[in-house]
Amino acid sequence: MIKKAIIIMAGISLFFAAAEAKGVQTKKVVKKEAYHAVWQRIYGGKEDDIAYGIVALENGESAIVGTCKSYGAKRTDICLVRMDAEGNMKWRLWLGGAKKDEGKAVARAADGSILVLGRSKSFGDKYDYDLYVAKVSLAGKKIWERTLGGERDEYAGGIAGTDDGGMLVVGASESYGKKADKDIYIAKLTGKGKLVSAHTVGGKKEDVATGVTRTRDGKMVLVGYREKGRVGNSDFLIMQMDQNGRQRWVKTFGGAYEDKLMGVTATVDNGIVAIGSTRSYGSAQSDLTVMKINAKGKTIWHKIYGFKYYEYGNAVATTRDGGFMLAGGTNTLGKGNHSAYILALNKRGELIWSHVYGGESKDVAHGVARMSDGSMIVVGETESFKPAKNFYIIKLKKQ
């Protein structure tokens, strides 16, 4: 168990860099539009502890899910932490069993409780990964847990609560295809964890769902990628569904190389903004890509931000003013060999601010969410301040 928090307030090396959008005219960074770090926190022990997802709770608080090896983890466990608005830990909960368990995503149920998605080797007869789903109370008590999957590996993508109190889970599965290639996996569960339906979507090569969100009009939208042709050539994939996981429309597009979407958030006009990475569209290595898609699947705007080497996006959230905050990584910018890369866009997708955070080693942002007080919290991992990877948590507000 995590017994104490290591708090880093000062002395963290920060490096500011304004990203460039390829082929796009962007506004200069204006001071009144810039964000600043209210606080930064490092949590973890002597082994690797990584935060992957965050969801807002009431009163500026949050719940963070990750994969942890420290403080009594049997191999790796799914760890769920509740934080107050100042970044202090209120409780933590270890989920999983005696084998490897990995946390990936977190969401809210209709009744306000916390939904957790990961994958686990602890509960099956074979040494394969199954999807792991749990429901946890706001007091940190496990209400139920269950696994989903077949005889091969499953991969966790995203989870979202449905209006009937249940949830929709998406990811990928090797269990149901003819050649053990990954297919998109979609499952609907009740609020008590009963499986209502499950199915896969895919072709002859890899099809993967990496995230899901509920739009304001009650639709569900997953994002991911679909492999085509040779290995390493994939297209962006976006699918709108109803709350039972039935497809309404699907959209795939991309260039000649690897294009993947890794995160998604709903917009106020029933559309979505999706984020990921691209090696197409003139990218030298890998660039961060972000796009807005309306409720009918039409692309409203598509932006690419990158530099000399590798930039990528892992998560996106809406800001209070209708813009978007992007979280990912870069090994072009910053003091270290890999930095957490945070960008803020306005509602038209134009860059208003960017920053890199971290130290001299590897730092990555994996998740971002808007809190009830309007602040933004980014979570991820850092190797810059201790020998092992630790939770890296940054609270941001506008100047």
Cα gap 224→238, rounded to integer Å: 7
User: Residue 5: inside a domain, yes or no?
Assistant: no
Instruction: State the residue range of the domain holding 58.
Output: 15-398
Question: For residue 283, is it within any domain?
Answer: yes
pLDDT at 230: 66
Torsions phi, psi for 215 (to 5 deg)? -85, 165
CATH of the domain at 333: 2.120.10.30
Encode the chain (399 residues) as per-residue pLDDT tens digits: 332 222 222 233 332 233 334 433 333 333 455 899 999 999 999 999 999 999 999 999 999 999 999 988 888 999 999 999 999 999 999 999 999 999 999 999 999 999 999 999 999 888 899 999 999 999 999 999 999 999 999 999 999 999 999 999 999 999 997 776 899 999 999 999 999 999 999 988 999 999 999 999 999 999 999 998 766 689 999 999 999 999 999 999 999 899 999 999 999 999 999 999 999 998 888 999 999 999 999 999 999 999 888 999 999 999 999 999 999 999 988 887 899 999 999 999 999 999 999 999 999 999 999 999 999 999 999 999 988 999 999 999 998
C-alpha dihedral sign at 279, 158, 95, 129: negative
Residues 6+ apart with CB under 8 A from 371: 56, 60, 61, 62, 85, 377, 395
Instruction: Record the tokens describing residue 102, joined without a space.
Output: 């990995």
Look at the block and give the residue holding tokens 């007869």: 125
Rounded to whole angstroms, how far apart are CA atoms 158 and 169? 6
Structure tokens at 368: 């971002």
Q: Which residues contact 113 (CB under 8 A, 6 or more apart)?
A: 135, 136, 137, 138, 143
Residues 289 and 315: beta-carbon distance below 8 Å: no
CB atoms within 10 A of CB 282: 12
| Token digits of residue 47 | 């082994």
Q: In this predicted structure, what is the pLDDT of residue 6? A: 27
DSSP 230-242: STT-EEEEEEEE-
> In this structure, is residue 312 part of a structural domain?
yes
Q: State the pLDDT at residue 126.
A: 82
Adjacency order of strands within the sheet including 101-108:
101-108, 114-120, 130-136, 142-148
Q: For residue 369, what are its two tokens? A: 């969410």
Report the pLDDT value the prediction gives residue 27, as an integer from 0 to 100.
33
What is the arrangement of strands in the sheet containing 207-214, beginning at the earlier edge strand?
A: 207-214, 220-227, 234-241, 247-253
Q: How many CB atoms lie within 10 A of CB 205?
A: 18
**Other beta carbons within 10 Å of 1:** 12
Beta bridge partners, 328, equal 313, 341
pLDDT for position 143: 98
pLDDT score at 12: 31
CB 128 within 8 A of CB 148: no
Q: Is 33 helix (H, G, I), strand (E, B) or coil?
A: helix
Structural domain tally of the chain? Answer: 1
Residue 184 near residue 224 (C-beta atoms within 8 A): yes
Determine, yes or no, domain membership for 10.
Answer: no
Beta strands 6-7 and 101-108: pairing type? unpaired
33 within a domain of the structure (yes/no): yes
Q: Is residue 272 part of a domain?
A: yes
Rounded to two decimals, the pTM is: 0.91
d(CA 136, CA 118): 14
245-264 exposure pattern, b = at least 16 Cβ within 10 A, e = fewer:
beeeeebbebeeebbbbbbb
